[in-house]
Amino acid sequence: MAHRPILRYPAPELRQRCELVLGGSELLSTLIQDLLEMMDALPGCVGLAAPQVGALLRVVVVDASRYRKKVENQGRMVLINPVQQNASGQKVFREGCLSLPDLTGNVPRATSVEYLALDERLESRPIRASGFEAVVLQHEIDHLDGVLFIDRVVCAKTDLFRRQNYL
């Protein structure tokens, strides 16, 4: 099991733009494996971005099938150097983040997205997603540009909330 700490806001790494992955390496493979293991080990976690563990590389892992509600999804995905190709529709979704564990917020997001990314084998892969999975992708890919969900709320006064602890 990977034991990388999840960085919490205001860690400066969370505000930095990540570097492109230029080729495969053992370090990249280890990072991907660590992100996947950490996502699996964290209950309710549906995505994780490399900068959340201090690695400033353009890598995210996503698995919307881990969501507590049944949603249409493609299962586990590794995206390296994702580039948005298209986005359409808009809806406000309630989001949370491991790097801001005490907050949730209402965030306007596209309801349908298309990305081009590399997979873990560094092969080009088009990604099309809608609904909750599209939101997860947008949220995680925002991390690669140093953007947090709190930056996307329309009004901090009415759209940010203290997370309810259910123990």
Q: Is residue 118 part of a domain?
A: yes
Domain residues for the domain of 67 are: 12-162
Euclidean distance between CA atoms 69 and 76, whole angstroms: 16
Euclidean distance between CA atoms 102 and 161, whole angstroms: 8
Positions annotated as catalytic residues are 140
Count the neighbouring beta carbons within 10 Å of the beta carbon of residue 64: 23
Q: Is residue 107 part of a domain?
A: yes
Q: Is residue 88 part of a domain?
A: yes
Q: Is residue 153 part of a domain?
A: yes
- Is this model's pTM higher than 0.75 or not? yes
Residues of the chain with pLDDT under 70: 1-2, 165-167
How many domains does the chain contain in total?
A: 1
The type of residue at 143 is H
Euclidean distance between CA atoms 47 and 73, whole angstroms: 13
Question: Are β-strands 47-49 and 59-62 bridged in parallel, bridged antiparallel, or unpaired?
Answer: antiparallel
Who's near 166: CB < 8 A, 6+ residues apart? Answer: none
Euclidean distance between CA atoms 55 and 57, whole angstroms: 6
At 111-123, the pLDDT tens digits run 999 999 999 999 9
Helix (H, G, I), strand (E, B), or coil: what is residue 121?
coil
Q: Is residue 44 part of a domain?
A: yes
pLDDT, position 165: 65
Structural Rg of the chain based on CA atoms = 15
Q: Is residue 48 part of a domain?
A: yes
Q: Is residue 67 part of a domain?
A: yes
Q: Is residue 38 part of a domain?
A: yes
At 57-88, the pLDDT tens digits run 999 999 999 987 888 889 999 999 999 999 99
Q: Domain containing 50 — which CATH number?
A: 3.90.45.10
pLDDT, position 48: 98
Work out the mean pLDDT of the chain and round it to a whole number: 95
pLDDT, position 167: 39
The type of residue at 137 is L
Closest C-alpha to 40, from 23, 61, 24, 54: 61
pLDDT, position 1: 58
